[in-house]
Structure 1
């Protein structure tokens, strides 16, 4: 899952982004409202974490603009404004949750996952296909109770394919889900992840298979 973190405090942004990445998220970080809007127009994010005190405007105004244009993704406000009136205003203008600074990374991760578990959110608790079981909360995959040793990006590829099982997933979509703006992406990076994932699944006796559709994308299906 990919999220956008809007935070102008560089050190805090790096700290939070690292914690979120360790929890399995792909994280893009921007420091201004204008950059946030540009990113949201470019990438289909699963969640927005929004600071309110931004150099080029008030995050509350950005929140209102996003909701006014019909943006439905979950928005978690992260701010030092702790007054009741501020919290009520943020929720009334479209925030789904409101977290006060300073906060522990563990709490931010937990609240992000809670938002994504809501109806219509991107986070289903468990994805199952054939003898494959993927726990999206723990970011763990198992085959008949045997854990699979997958890298963070292999897990991201597998999750994306599982959520669209039986349908073709274009390479571009996988890149969007696996890599952030600052990540170095080689032209064959997805192919490498798919190859490694396929080998690991086959070695463990998976009843699912990753199909390659040349020039189109990839599809995960159960082998009958």
Structure 2
């Protein structure tokens, strides 16, 4: 992970966990430098990106402020489990399901994948980063995101887990597509979340991977 990506991840996490809410002023550049152990230029570039995707607002002479509150309360919606099914479930139930299934998936990836597999996963996430240009196509971003999640299943090297993952992707893809069509910073959030997963996998840290899944799914829930 680059120093700029690290700064973005730290700031995004603080917004997500409620340390800074919509309208709050972020720490100064110097404070963020000390917090992240990076240079002023890395902090400035990271803040520019966060401003571009609409998470923060830079006010000349005043500082940087949170523009969007990622943990703003949302209405609970029902999801169809499969096409034609009469069974529905809430966002909270989906969150619980994802937390357990994705935690198990990442654990199996860590146990079974090779360094080459991890590099391939990182390349896929790099595609998402490159697609986040000035005028990104939301449906292109959505498809790259779906492909990333399907690759997670393949890297378990277990056909049963791969099928389970495909079923999970089917459950989340409708909500994910709506995210990309309606939330202009959805791609940025997905990129950062994916990178956290990759870092946990590369470090072969199962507990960190499971904690990352919890954070990623909190992001998903609060975007609904």
TM over 0.5: no
Q: What TM-score, normalized to structure 1?
A: 0.28
Q: What TM-score, normalized to structure 2?
A: 0.28
Larger Rg: 1
Structure with more of its chain in helix, by fraction: 2
Structure with more of its chain in strand, by fraction: 1
